[in-house]
Structure 1
Amino acid sequence: MSHERTFEQDLERLYLDHHGWLQNWLRRRLGEAADAEDLAQDTFVRVMRNRTALRELRQPLAYLATIANGLLVNRWRRQAVERAYTEALAARPEMLEPSPEERLALIETLVEIDELLHGLSPRIRQIFLLSQLDGLTYPQIASQLELSVDQVQKAMAKAFAACYANRFE
């Protein structure tokens, strides 16, 4: 019997044994059955991509909950980005409103940036956003956050290094 077939059988068993539990677990957190079903399916897709040796799992429910929780956090972060973007759009004149295609592309880009920045410390993220979104100079940021210009420069160097690594490595 090939390894591939064994993985497929183990995945099927994991799905049959725990899909209902996972869906209920997600429903309690989301309050909606359709969203819970979608995230449960996404969780099992992630399991398939991870290719973890499923037979060796000692706590399959904890494994599934960890993956599903990560997906939930990503979902909530995306929703927060979308809400912030929608609020920013509402403040713009209607004639400047982007098309639905442009809006989707912008949201996707914002979510990608959010995920990148999420890996930074809160202070570095704040400094980066003040510089890149608000257009503040390093001295202005330093004054606002009661830091030295050198601290702001070092934080920006870390943020730019993370952006570079994400783009080119």
Structure 2
Amino acid sequence: MSATLPATHTNHLRMIEALYSGHHGWLYATLRKKLGNAMDAADLAQDTFTRILASKVAVIEQPRAYLSCVAKGILVNWYQRKALERAYLDALALLPAPEVPAPELRLMVLETLHEIDAMLDALPPLVKRCFLLSQIGGLKYEDIAGQLGVSLITVKRYMKQAFVRCLMLVD
């Protein structure tokens, strides 16, 4: 028994195949030059095409400009992820040897940090800033309102929005 794909799905796959075959080498070379690392460049190029495949975009008029734009977003996320990992590893380096968590726990913590980071990036900028000022900076809601130039009720609304996102992460 063979399944047939809808015409639009088939066209989309053909478009992605043509995009990949025509521009993968260029994108890989561009990323390799930026990163100085063939393995990371290959991973990020693949992630770029995977994201485009998932996007179901119908027409790409300027393939290299489009690929550059998508790859730039992926590259920014990659740099943020690497910075987060470095910060965590730097913090671990300051711990006395008996307190350093086992490799399995370190991996779990890094994965959780990446999930939290992605959750925070999904928040509107002021909501994210409000949440970080409260949770990392330890500021009181009144102080946050003054710093952000918003009302106390707005800070409470922002915090509720952030906490709801955090709860979604737990589910």
Q: What TM-score, normalized by structure 2, do the two folds share? A: 0.77
State the superposition RMSD in angstroms.
3.0
Residue 155 of structure 1: aligned partner: 155
Q: Is the contact made by 2:119 and 2:165 (CA closer than 8 Å) also made in structure 1?
A: no
Supply the distance in 2 between the matched residues of 1:65 and 1:18 (Cα, whole angstroms).
Answer: 11
Deviations 1:91-145 (A, max 9, x none): 2222221121211111111122222323343x654553343245x3517x839x9
Deviations 1:76-102 (A, max 9, x none): 000111111111112222222112121
Shift of 1:152: 6.8
Equivalent of 1:57 in 53, 56, 60: 60
Task: Identify the range of structure 1 (103-112 vs 71-80) with the bigger mean alpha-carbon deviation.
Answer: 103-112
Q: Does 1:39 align with 2:40?
A: no
Residue 164 of structure 1: aligned partner: 164
Equivalent of 1:102 in 102, 105, 112: 105
Deviations 1:49-76 (A, max 9, x none): 11211xx211111211111111101100
Q: Is the contact made by 1:116 and 1:163 (CA closer than 8 Å) also made in structure 2?
A: no
Supply the distance in 1 between the matched residues of 2:104 and 2:134 (Cα, whole angstroms).
Answer: 28
Equivalent of 1:19 in 21, 24, 33: 24
Shift of 1:161: 0.7
Q: Is the contact made by 2:28 and 2:41 (CA closer than 8 Å) also made in structure 1?
A: yes
Supply the distance in 1 between the matched residues of 2:64 and 2:105 (Cα, whole angstroms).
Answer: 40
Supply the distance in 1 between the matched residues of 2:83 and 2:40 (Cα, whole angstroms).
Answer: 17
Supply the distance in 2 between the matched residues of 1:98 and 1:71 (Cα, whole angstroms).
Answer: 30
Q: What TM-score, normalized by structure 1, do the two folds share? A: 0.78
Residue 82 of structure 1: aligned partner: 85
Structure 1: which amino acid aligns with 2:15?
D
Gapped runs of 5+ residues in structure 1? none
Identity percentage of aligned residues: 38
Gapped runs of 5+ residues in structure 2? none
Supply the distance in 1 between the matched residues of 2:97 and 2:133 (Cα, whole angstroms).
Answer: 26
